[in-house]
């Protein structure tokens, strides 16, 4: 609810502060006193257009501030949480919305933080609904009209509508994901084909880290096999051939053995030379085994393998390690692409399931809506008859529609306000008073998604007497049903039914000024007397005013 409204330098209002109560409140005052400026102030808080001409003469800027208290489940909460505009609270959340208008432009704040006007325009309709000639009416929107009909139809319709909306939103998300996957499916298939070819090519090569170095050494050996073979053969001859190293060492060994008996210390040299002789014979034998003829076939095979690895290096990396890493990345990417292909199938199944479920619920909801529509029409017309619109015809049209968040129905309210008139959409109703009374009737029957605070301007236009009392009683009843109702009125029959009463008073002095004051007790009787006869001091007018208050308090006319 709107708990407090502060207005500074708005037209003739130098400064006014109104502490509003729950239930119904009436704003009264003489014509031209500035009552509608308070409606303008609330309109500014909901993102309405700011005319710089409304700044009070001599002031640098106009300021409007509203303090709202809402529950944690209020629709505005999620909108503000997404923008980090909320302070921690309990079951009740306080929002302070400020709008300043200066010659250079307009600024908006929520809880002290600057926000674009679009934020006020988004959250405003969830906080306050203004019914009047020049205001965009909440019930003019197809969404609000569906919600109103569903609220009248009952809890099952409300629950089904919420379920259908949630499933259709989820369906939209799934279909967007599916569309994105399908749009890139051809490109993904091409990429997957390339990856699979590269994976097969690398895996077929059976690359081993260190292989290139080994093959390069083997190629060098095979390329020089003839030279190597000649050197080995020569070495074998020098070691073990006639007159070779082995024969000369044998001579050394015999000479040392011959003198060992004469010098026992020579024995250790004998052992070492004997070992040397044995080692030389082993080396000669091993070298002889290594003597081989050049092998062109093996050389060609090694060169082919090196060529294959060089080709893979040009494509996938500078060495075997980089090629293996490329293979690992390619496998991971291929798995990812294959998973997306599987996701298309999974999302298709999910979309079909969501659509079927949403259609089934929407079909049930459509039946409930159509069953409730005729009763709703009759009850609205009956209320409008009590609210000084005896010739009004109210029509609910329900047409088939493709599945959307609202179901499979296009719901629209149409009204004919005079005899012989053709029903027309609510937005095309010319009279602000009629539009306000229609809004009042609809909200009395079904609060479907309406804002917690409702401001009625011109609701009493063109009515009087018993009809005016009926309007006043209806507004009071709406306030008792949970809405905070503020009515701008010039009729005492309407004002008498309000739970709280505020007087807007103009003071003409050196400069025009306007004040807003809550009136109670004798002050309220005085204000109603003024409204009745323009004679606030008239005893007869005061008696009539007290009679209206007693009548309202007793419930008569409700």
pLDDT in tens, the chain (558 residues): 899 999 999 888 888 889 998 999 999 988 766 788 888 899 999 888 888 888 988 899 999 999 998 888 888 888 888 777 776 666 778 889 999 999 988 999 998 889 999 899 888 888 988 886 555 466 778 988 999 999 999 999 999 999 999 999 999 998 888 887 776 777 777 888 899 999 999 999 998 888 888 888 888 878 887 878 788 788 888 787 777 788 888 888 888 888 888 888 888 998 998 898 888 888 888 888 777 778 788 888 888 888 889 999 999 988 989 999 999 999 998 888 777 766 778 888 889 999 999 999 999 999 999 999 999 999 999 999 988 888 899 999 999 999 999 999 999 999 998 888 899 988 777 577 788 888 889 988 987 666 788 898 878 777 778 888 888 999 999 998 888 999 999 899 999 999 999 998 887 755 567 788 899 999 999 999 988 877 767 788 888 889 989 888 886 554
Q: Rounded to whole angstroms, how far apart are CA atoms 391 and 411? A: 23
Q: Which residues contact 518 (CB under 8 A, 6 or more apart)?
A: 18, 19, 500, 501, 502, 503
Q: Which long-range contacts (CB under 8 A, 24 or more apart) does 49-56 make?
A: 50/99, 50/101, 50/106, 52/101, 52/102, 52/103, 54/10, 54/11, 54/101, 55/9, 55/10, 55/101, 55/102, 55/103, 56/9, 56/10, 56/11, 56/12, 56/13, 56/14
- Per DSSP bridges, beta strands 393-404 and 500-508 are unpaired
Region label for 23, one of left (φ > 0), alpha (ψ between -120 and 50) or beta (otherwise): left
Residue 330: name the closest of 152, 191, 163, 184 by CA.
Answer: 191
Instruction: Kindly calculate the radius of gyration of the chain based on its CA atoms and give it in whole angstroms.
Output: 48
SS3 285: helix
The residue to which tokens 């505009």 are assigned: 85
Distance (Å, rounded) from C-alpha 61 to C-alpha 57? 10
Strands of the 407-416 sheet, one edge to the other: 393-404, 407-416, 424-425
Predicted TM-score (pTM) of the model is 0.67
First to last CA, the chain: 24
Q: Look at the alpha carbons of 497, 501, 502, 507 in this order and tell me if their dihedral is positive or negative.
A: positive
Structural domains of the chain in order of their starting residue, each with its CATH number: 1-133+431-558 (3.40.50.300), 194-335 (no CATH)
Q: In whole angstroms, give the CA distance from residue 246 to residue 237.
A: 10
Q: Give the span between the Cα atoms of 171 and 165, in whole angstroms.
A: 10
DSSP 3-state of 120 = helix
- Give the C-alpha separation, 151 to 148, whole Å: 5
């Amino acid at each position: 609810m709107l708990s407090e409204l502060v207005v500074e330098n708005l037209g003739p209002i130098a400064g006014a502060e109104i502490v509003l109560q729950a239930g119904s409140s009436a704003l009264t005052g003489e014509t031209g006193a500035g009552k509608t400026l308070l409606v303008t102030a609330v309109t500014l808080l909901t993102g309405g257009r700011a005319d710089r001409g409304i700044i009070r003469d001599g002031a640098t800027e106009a300021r409007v501030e509203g303090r709202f208290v809402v529950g944690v489940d209020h629709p505005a909460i999620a909108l503000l949480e997404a923008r980090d505009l909320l302070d921690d609270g309990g079951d009740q959340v306080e929002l302070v919305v400020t709008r300043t208008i200066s010659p250079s432009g307009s600024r908006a704040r929520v809880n002290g933080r600057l926000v674009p006007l679009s934020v006020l325009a988004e959250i405003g309709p969830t906080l306050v609904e203004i019914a009047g000639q020049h205001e965009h009416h909440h019930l003019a929107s197809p969404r609000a009209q569906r919600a109103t009909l569903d609220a009248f139809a009952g809890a099952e319709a409300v629950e089904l509508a919420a379920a259908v909306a949630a499933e259709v939103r989820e369906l939209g998300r799934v279909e967007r994901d599916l569309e994105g996957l399908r749009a890139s499916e051809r490109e993904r298939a091409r990429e997957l084909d390339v990856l699979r070819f590269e994976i097969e090519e690398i895996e077929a090569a059976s690359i081993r880290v260190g292989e290139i170095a080994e093959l390069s050494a083997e190629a060098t050996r095979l390329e020089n096999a003839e030279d190597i073979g000649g050197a080995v053969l020569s070495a074998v001859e020098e070691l073990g051939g006639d007159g070779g190293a082995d024969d000369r060492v044998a001579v050394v060994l015999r000479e040392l053995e011959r003198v060992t008996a004469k010098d026992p210390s020579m024995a250790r040299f004998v052992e070492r030379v004997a070992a040397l002789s044995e080692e030389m014979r082993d080396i000669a034998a091993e070298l002889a085994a290594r003597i081989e003829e050049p092998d062109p076939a093996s050389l060609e095979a090694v060169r082919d393998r090196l060529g294959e690895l060089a080709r893979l290096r040009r494509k996938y990396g500078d060495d075997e390690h980089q090629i293996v890493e490329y293979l690992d990345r390619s496998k991971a990417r291929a798995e990812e692409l294959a998973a997306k292909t599987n996701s298309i199938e999974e999302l298709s199944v999910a979309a079909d399931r969501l659509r079927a479920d949403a259609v089934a619920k929407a079909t049930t909801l459509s039946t409930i809506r159509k069953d409730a529509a005729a009763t709703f029409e009759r009850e609205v017309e009956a209320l409008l008859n009590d609210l000084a619109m005896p010739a009004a015809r109210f029509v609910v049209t329900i047409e088939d529609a493709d599945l959307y968040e609202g179901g499979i129905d296009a719901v629209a309210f149409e009204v004919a306000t005079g005899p012989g008139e053709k029903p027309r959409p609510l937005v095309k109703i010319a009279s602000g008073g009629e539009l306000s009374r229609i809004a009042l009737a609809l909200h009395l029957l079904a609060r479907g998604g309406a804002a917690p605070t409702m401001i009625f301007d011109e609701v009493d236009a063109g009515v009087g007497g018993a009809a005016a009392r009926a309007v006043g009683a209806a507004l009071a009843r709406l306030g008792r049903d949970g809405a905070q109702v503020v009515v701008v009125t010039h009729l005492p029959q309407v004002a008498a039914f309000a739970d709280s009463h505020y007087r807007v008073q103009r003071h003409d002095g050196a400069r025009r000024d306007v004040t807003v004051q809550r009136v109670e007790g004798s002050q309220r009787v005085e204000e109603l007397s003024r409204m009745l006869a323009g004679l606030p001091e008239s005893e007869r007018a005061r008696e009539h005013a007290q009679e209206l208050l007693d009548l309202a308090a007793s419930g008569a006319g409700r």
